């Protein structure tokens, strides 16, 4: 059971890596847009995160305030990805505030996960 939980945690981290990695690529290549890979990363992190939010395979209490905050941030990132994709579809550029918020909020969620005990 514990091994299975760690496996789901690994997928959760892969989702984070894909989302943040895809964002970093856009930052460095100068396009500063949103890509399908970001949606995939978010979806993987969300599904694995929700599975981890259930208390199985652990002997400690989960911090549901922390998990709730992460869920809200994830929904905001999802909304920003939608807004960015909409702008791109109309031939425009993703507003810098939207682009930067996606990266900062993703990093914030990882920081909350690791630093909030
Ligand atoms: C962009 C979104 C997210 C990022 C970047 C992220 C990042 C992380 C990271 C880096 C960890 C590992 C922390 C550690 O083991 O010390 C983690 C664990 C975890 N995350 Fe997320 N997460 C995100 C979204 C979510 C969501 C939406 C949920 C649930 C609704 C969630 C629930 C959890 C849980 C339950 C754990 C494991 C806690 C434990 O078993 O001790 N995460 N997350």
pTM of the model: 0.94
Ligand 1 atom closest to 52 (CA):
35
Q: Which residues, including other chains, have CB under 8 Å from residue 35's CB and lie 6 or more apart?
A: 22, 25, 26
Q: pLDDT tens, 30-63?
A: 999 999 999 999 999 999 999 999 999 999 999 9
Q: Are 99 and 93 in contact (CB under 8 A)?
A: no
- Residue 117 pLDDT exceeds 90: no
Question: Ligand 1 centroid vs 100 CA: distance in angstroms?
Answer: 21
Report pLDDT for 37.
Answer: 98
Q: What is the pLDDT of residues 67-102, one digit of tens each?
A: 999 999 999 999 999 999 999 999 999 999 999 999
State the distance from the centre of ligand 1 to the C-alpha of 38, rounded, in angstroms. Answer: 17
Res. 113 pLDDT band, cuts 50 70 90: very high
């Amino acid at each position: 059971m514990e091994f299975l939980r760690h496996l789901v945690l690994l997928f959760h981290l892969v989702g984070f890596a894909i989302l943040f990695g895809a964002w970093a690529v856009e930052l460095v290549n100068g396009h500063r847009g949103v890509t399908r890979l970001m949606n995939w990363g978010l979806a993987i992190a969300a599904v694995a995160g929700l599975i981890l939010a259930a208390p199985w395979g652990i002997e400690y209490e989960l911090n549901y305030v922390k998990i709730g905050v992460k869920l809200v941030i994830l929904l905001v990132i999802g909304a920003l990805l939608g807004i960015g994709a909409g702008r791109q579809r109309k031939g425009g550029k993703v507003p810098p505030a939207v682009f930067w918020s996606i990266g900062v909020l993703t990093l914030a969620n990882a920081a909350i996960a690791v630093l909030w005990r």
